Chain A
Amino acid sequence: MLLLSYLRMKLLTHNMLTSHVKGVTKGYPLLIKATEVKLTDVDFNSEFVSRMIPKIEWSVLVEAADTLGHLNDLPRDLPPDYESSEDFLRKVHHVLLEVEVLEGNLKCPESGREFPITKGVPNMLLNEDEV
């Protein structure tokens, strides 16, 4: 019986997560330390990718992809006319939705607190003394 083998954390999700340990003012971005990464195939939708780009922190996405070794030739700076470049959008699609972290942890940049990722699910719950 297969349990929890299907879950993972996409980099789009990572882009939203922040540490809220008590006293921490700068809990973003969380540093990814991955012990297991998986690549998957997701249908490409240029409009969705194009709309997500302004919503995300671009440098955080680049850093995360780089940390995982899947930056490839994604540019570190956002090109001004990205909406019209399918080639570019496909690269963004790949890192946003197709690179998945199965195991590892997310580290708060300020407190150093590590939030484990188990079977693709990041656990952001704090202990009582951290709240």
Chain B
Amino acid sequence: MKRKELESCLQQVDVFEKPKLLLEQYPTRPHIAACMLYTIHNSFDDIEDKLVADLGCGCGVLSVGAAVLGAGLCVGFDIDEDALEICSRNIEEFDLKNIDTVQCDVCALVPERFSNKFDTVIMNPPFGTKHNKVQDLLTLIFGDVALWFGTCCLCCSKPSCRCRLVRRDVDVSASVGRC
């Protein structure tokens, strides 16, 4: 599948109907989602037949993309049931069998239980411009996640829309490029 095809596909994903300000909900744009996923799929082979976690999956743009690219199983985690409802609608419309979702607070996940389980973590988490505490927690999680969540973590940061790839084994942040 070409990147443009993936992007077209992701344009069909339903997004938040009433984004919640407190949760900083906004959908990952199809273009940047396609860039992110395409890169980790083609350059790093970290999607196809892998166990993927989508932290803060929201409506499921990234999960749908990962599933479409052939993830073995993608598990989306989100705190908001309204978002998960839209996510489930998307899963049904795309007829995807390789996505599970879990409603939880990702900040409360237990690291030990997840270490070395997931091959890849993808996420576009709330950036925390409005709630520093959330940002701190997520930065903490993101930092931890890079260490104990499998081998690869891709995080999309809001302001610059730059994809950041942090590899566990190398422990170096490298920009994959500006999308």
Contact = CB atoms under 8 A, between A and B. Distances in A.
Chains A and B bind each other? yes
Interface of A: 2-10, 12-13, 16-18, 20, 27-28, 40-42, 45, 47-48, 51-52, 55-56, 97, 119-126, 131
Contacts of B171: none
Interface string B106-133: 0011100110110000000000000000
B113 A45 contact: no
Interface stretch (B6-14, B20-28, B92-100): B92-100
Nearest to A13: B100
Contacts of B104: 122-125
A120 B98 CA distance: 13
Contacts of A7: 88, 91, 100-101
B49 A47 contact: yes
B139 interface: no
B75 A13 contact: yes
Interface residue SS majority, chain B: mixed
Interface of B: 49-51, 72-73, 75, 79, 81, 84-85, 88-89, 91-92, 97-98, 100-105, 108-110, 113-114, 116-117
Pairs of residues from A and B, 3 with the lowest C-beta to C-beta distance, nearest first: A124-B104, A6-B92, A48-B72
Q: Is the interface of A mostly helix, strand, loop or mixed?
A: loop
Nearest to B116: A55
A74 B168 CA distance: 35
Given A16-B117, A47-B49, A48-B72, A9 B91 contact: no
B103 A4 contact: no
Contacts of B50: 48
